[in-house]
A and B are shown apart, each in its own frame.
Chain A
Amino acid sequence: MEHALTTNNLSVSVGKKTILYPTTISIEMGEMTAIIGANGAGKSTFMRAALGLIPHSGFSSLSSKTINERMKFASWVSQDRELVWDVRVKTLLQFTLERTLRTIDTSFQKKLTGINEALELTNISQLADQQVNSLSGGEVTAVLIARTLVQQTPIIFLDEPLASLDPIQKIKILSLLRSLSKSGRTIIASLHDIKQSAKYFSRYIGIKNGTVVIDAAPIEAINKQNFNRVFVK
Chain B
Amino acid sequence: MKLTSAKLRWSCLILLITFTYLSLDIGYIDINLLTALTSVFYGTKSTDAVILWELRLPRTLMCLIVGSGLGLAGAALQGYLRNPLAEPSIVGISSAAALGAVLCIALGLNNSGFFYTPAFALAFAFVACWTLIFLTRQSKSKHNVILIGVGVSALAGSLTTLILSLSDNPFAINEIVFWMLGSVTDVSYSHVLIAGPLVVIGTIFLYKHAADLDLLTLGEETATSTGVDINKLRTSILIGTTFIVGGITAVTGIIGFVGLVTPHIVRPFVNHEPKRTMIWTPPIAALLVLISDIIIRTAPTTGEIKLGVLTALLGTPVFLYLISKQRS
In the bound complex, residues from chain B placing their C-beta under 8 Å from that of A205 are: none
- CB <8 Å contact, B227 and A83: no
Does A75 reach chain B (CB closer than 8 Å)?
yes
Q: How far is the CA of A76 from the CA of B57 in the complex (A)?
A: 52
Q: Which stretch in A2-10, A21-29, A94-102, A164-172 binds the other chain?
A: A94-102
A86 touching B272 in the complex, CB below 8 Å, given contacts A92-B217, A99-B211: yes
In the bound complex, residues from chain A placing their C-beta under 8 Å from that of B84 are: 84
B: number of interface residues (CB 8 Å):
23
- CB <8 Å contact, A78 and B219: yes
Does B215 reach chain A (CB closer than 8 Å)?
yes
A95 touching B222 in the complex, CB below 8 Å, given contacts A84-B83, A103-B227: no
In the bound complex, residues from chain A placing their C-beta under 8 Å from that of B215 are: 95-96, 99
- CB <8 Å contact, B224 and A67: yes
Proximity bits, B194-226, A CB within 8 Å = 1, else 0: 000000000000000001001101110110111
Does B229 reach chain A (CB closer than 8 Å)?
yes
Q: How far is the CA of A85 from the CA of B326 in the complex (A)?
A: 12
How close is B85's CB to chain A, nearest CB, in angstroms?
A: 11
How close is B49's CB to chain A, nearest CB, in angstroms?
A: 48
In the bound complex, residues from chain B placing their C-beta under 8 Å from that of A84 are: 82-84, 217
How close is B302's CB to chain A, nearest CB, in angstroms?
A: 45
How close is A49's CB to chain B, nearest CB, in angstroms?
A: 12
Proximity bits, B264-275, A CB within 8 Å = 1, else 0: 000100011110
In the bound complex, residues from chain A placing their C-beta under 8 Å from that of B272 are: 85-87
Interface residues of B in 172-189 (CB under 8 A from A): none
Proximity bits, A43-56, B CB within 8 Å = 1, else 0: 00000100101100
Q: How far is the CA of A85 from the CA of B84 in the complex (A)?
A: 9
Q: How far is the CA of A37 from the CA of B222 in the complex (A)?
A: 23
- CB <8 Å contact, A83 and B218: yes
- CB <8 Å contact, B221 and A92: no
How close is B323's CB to chain A, nearest CB, in angstroms?
A: 15
Proximity bits, A166-183, B CB within 8 Å = 1, else 0: 000000000000000000
In the bound complex, residues from chain A placing their C-beta under 8 Å from that of B227 are: 67-68, 70-71, 99, 103
Does A151 reach chain B (CB closer than 8 Å)?
yes
In the bound complex, residues from chain B placing their C-beta under 8 Å from that of A96 are: 215, 226
Q: How far is the CA of A93 from the CA of B217 in the complex (A)?
A: 11
- CB <8 Å contact, B224 and A82: no
Interface residues of A in 136-182 (CB under 8 A from B): 144, 147, 151, 157
- CB <8 Å contact, B226 and A85: no
- CB <8 Å contact, A87 and B83: no
In the bound complex, residues from chain A placing their C-beta under 8 Å from that of B225 are: 51, 53, 70-71, 74-76, 157
- CB <8 Å contact, A82 and B82: yes
Task: Please give 10 more A-B residue pairs, beta carbons under 8 A apart, in addition to A82-B219, A84-B217, A99-B211.
Answer: A51-B225, A54-B140, A67-B227, A68-B227, A71-B225, A71-B226, A75-B226, A88-B271, A96-B226, A99-B227
A-contacting residues of B (Cβ < 8 Å)? 82-84, 140, 211, 214-215, 217-219, 221-222, 224-229, 267, 271-274
* Interface pairs (16), CB distance under 8 Å: A76-B224, A78-B221, A78-B222, A80-B221, A82-B82, A84-B84, A85-B217, A87-B271, A87-B272, A91-B273, A95-B217, A96-B226, A99-B226, A99-B227, A144-B222, A147-B222
